[in-house]
Structure 1
Amino acid sequence: MKKAVISLFALLAGTGFAIAGDAGCDAFKWPVTREQALFPAAPAAQSGAALTVGQATNFALAAVDTISFEVPPGHTQAAGTFGATASVTVPSEGELQFSLSDEAWIDVVQGGHAVKSAGFSRAKTCPDIRKSVRFKLSAGPATVQLSGARKADLKMAVLTPE
């Protein structure tokens, strides 16, 4: 009987953990369920990759001091951190949402200038997604700059907001 009670407790504890994990992602200001679905199968990419709206990418980042940024990052870069650049074609004027699997600074550049973010949300309790940032952009090309990452890999989804 004692073994059954311990097994039941372990089962209930596991269920509680799953609920707590899901609740952690609910801390975002907007849903991140699409990112959760895209991240596990995100294809690998290097700095300089072309991004597609509606997809995620698993970046192999490089030492931040080896990256040529179009404009200086909007945040001071600590030594020993990682970064990347990428291009994206904004399909029509409006917002794009960039969600990251871990801490990193993100700048989006259009017309030679960094675009100020239109919204930001972070949740340290979500197991797969750390932050999501929205930018109001014009249709056409844009450069995404990632910097200040503490790890050499980072997943990023580029989506239109729900």
Structure 2
Amino acid sequence: MRAPVAMKKVVISLFAILAGTSFALAADTGCDAFKWPVEREQALFPSAPAAQSGAALTVGEAVDFSLAAVDTISFEVPPGHAPAAGTFGATARVTVPPEGELQFSLSDDAWIDVVQDGKTVKSAAFSGVKNCPGIRKSLRFKLAGGAAIIQLSGAKKADLKVAVLTPE
């Protein structure tokens, strides 16, 4: 028994609608799912120079940290999220420009605290994506111009790339 032509058109139309929806969802995955562009990080991370805990970070650049066991790191203040045993971390310094807003992007899962005047500064915005190759999350902080300490903790791997940028 053959389906009427009108029924075939309805089935084909529904298929086209569903296919279009799945293509639209596929386009909104990966790096495009971040709340802001991450192309600068993608350009910086492959050639990021090696850095150790205690390094000075420069706005507009990225580094590739060799992390240490988190229980060997002397943090300025306790991390905002208690790191699990067996994880890794580092500290760094950065000079915040007078405008005061910085964006930190991390290649993998890790906790980041930004400390100024002995106090942890809460992030102003966060975006994280699990399926963007090479970039896991990006956070924005509104800071006072001057010195700040960056604390990284809870990383499951002993290396982590970090980009320090001004928001676009």
Pick aligned residue for 1:39 from 19, 23, 45 = 45
The alignment's TM-score, normalised by the length of structure 2, stands at 0.83
1:72 equivalent to 2:78? Answer yes
Going from structure 1 to structure 2, the CA distance change for 1:80 and 1:118 (only over 3 Å counts) comes to: same
1:49 is the counterpart of 2:55: yes
Q: 1:22 to 1:152 in 2, by over 3 A?
A: farther
Q: Distance in 1 between matches of 2:85 and 2:65?
A: 19
Moved over 6 A (4+): none
Match of 1:103 in 2: 109
Alignment partner of 1:136 is 2:163 = no
Within-5 A mapping of 1:1-162: 23-162=29-168
| 1:61/1:83 contact within 8 Å kept | yes
Asked if 2 retains the 8 angstrom alpha-carbon contact of 1:22 and 1:126, the reply is no
Q: Could you tell me which residue of structure 2 aligns to residue 12 of structure 1?
A: none
Gaps of 5+ in 2: 1-25
Partners of 2:83 and 2:137 in 1: CA distance: 18
What is the CA–CA distance in structure 2 between the aligned matches of 1:21 and 1:145, rounded to whole Å? 34
- CA root-mean-square deviation: 1.3
Bigger Rg over Cα = 2
Cα pair distance change 1:83/1:97, threshold 3 Å: same
Shift of 1:64: 0.2
Q: CA deviation at 1:93?
A: 3.2
* Identical-pair percentage: 80
Q: TM-score, normalised by structure 1?
A: 0.86
Query: 2:28, 2:159 → 1: CA distance?
Result: 23
| Distance in 2 between residues matched to 1:74 and 1:95, nearest whole Å | 20
| Shift in Å, 1:120 | 0.3
Gapped regions of structure 1 (runs ≥ 5):
1-19
